[in-house]
Structure 1
Amino acid sequence: MKPTTLEPRQRDADRSQLGILIAARDEFAQHGLAGARVDRIAERAGLNKRLIYYYFGSKDDLFLAVLESVYADIRDAEQALHLLDLPPAEALRRLTEFTWNYYLEHPEFITLLNSANLHQARHLSKSKRVREMNSPLIQTLGDILERGRKQGVIRGGIDPVQLYISIAGLAYFYLSNNHTLSAIFGRDLMTRKAHSERLSHMCDVILGYVLRD
C-alpha cells in the first residue's frame, strides 16, 4: 500500500509537537511558568511561534502538556523496572534506588514540580491523564505490599500512597534544597560520596519501615 500524503504531514506534526515540548520543558525548567517566554520556546524549537499556539493553545496549556509529558516519562521508566517480578523487599529497594537516581539524572523534573507547586497545581488538577498514569504505580505498590504481607516479610496496614510519597519525598527534599542544606550544615551534599550515603540512608529508612522484625 502506498503511503498517503497525510502520513508525512502527520509525522511532521508529531516531530514539531515533540520539538515544542522539549523546548518548553527546558524553558519552563529554567525560568518557571511566570518567567518562561513563548518567543524563546519557539527559538529553542526552531519553529514559528504561531505553531505553538496552534498545537497547544496557550502558554498555560503548554505548561500542562509539559507536566503530563515528564510524568509519562517517569511512569514509563518505572514500568520498565518490572517490580512485580521481584521479591517484595527487593522491589521496594529497587523503586527507592530508581527514584533517587531518576531525580538526580533529571533535575528538570524537580524544577518543573517546584513551578507547578508554586502555582498550587492548578494545571495538574485539571489533568485526568496524570491521575490515570499514577494509578498503576500505586496499584503495583499495593500488590507488592500485599504479597510481602502474605509471605510474612512486610508488615500489614501500609498505605501505598503514603509509602510512595515518603520514597519520593526523601529524594525530592534533599535534591530540591541541596543548596540551602549544604550552606546550613557546612557540607557539600552533591558529591558522589554524599549521594551514595543519601541513597543508603533512604533504603534503610524505607525498608526499616516496611519490613517485619
Structure 2
Amino acid sequence: MHEDTIPERLHAKARRLAEHEHELDELSQLYAQSDEEVAKGGDPSTGARTKRAANWATALRRYENFWTERGHSPREHTRNRATLPDEERRMGEWARYQRRFEENLCRYQIIRLDVSPAFKWDPHDHVWQENLNACIHHFRSTGRLPYLNGSDLLEFALARWLGRQLRQLQMGALEQCRDVRLTALLDMRGDERADAITDRFS
C-alpha cells in the first residue's frame, strides 16, 4: 500500500495541516479524534456528542477502502443502474452529500477530504474547467479574483471554489493538469503568492 493511502498517515497529515492553519475548534477536535480512532482500527466512541463524528469517520474509511481495493472511487450512477451494487451507490451518495453541503462541514472534515486520495471535490473535469473559466472571466472583468462577497452569491460560491483549489495546490493535492491551469490563473496576478491569496478564503 502506498504510504499516502495508509489511514494513520492520512489522519496525521490532515491534523497537522488543520492545526497549522488555525487552532482546532471543539467540533474539529471531535472529528479528528474519531478519525484517528478509525484509522487505528478501533471503534470510535458513539456517545451522544460523538456519534455523528464516528459515523462520518467510519464512512470515509469505508469509502477509501473501496478506492484502495477497486482502483476507483465509488460510483453513484451507471448507465445500467441495476448493475450498481447498493453499497457502492450509498457510498457515492455519501460523497455527493459532502460536496453539496461543504459549508456544514467543520475545518477538520474539509482538510481531511482534501488529503484523501479517494475523494474529489470536482470529480468531473468539465465542471472544474467551467469554474476556472469563470474565475478567469471575473478577473478580466474586475481586475481581481473572486472573494467572499456576501452581497453576490455567485461570486461568493466561486470564491469558495477557488479557495478550495488553492488549499489543494498548497498541499500538492491537485492533479498535475489542474495544477498547471490554476497556476496560470495565479500568474495573471503576478504580485501574490498562492498562500497569501489563500489566506483571504480561510
Query: Please, what TM-score do these two structures have when normalized by structure 1?
Result: 0.29
Query: Please, what TM-score do these two structures have when normalized by structure 2?
Result: 0.30
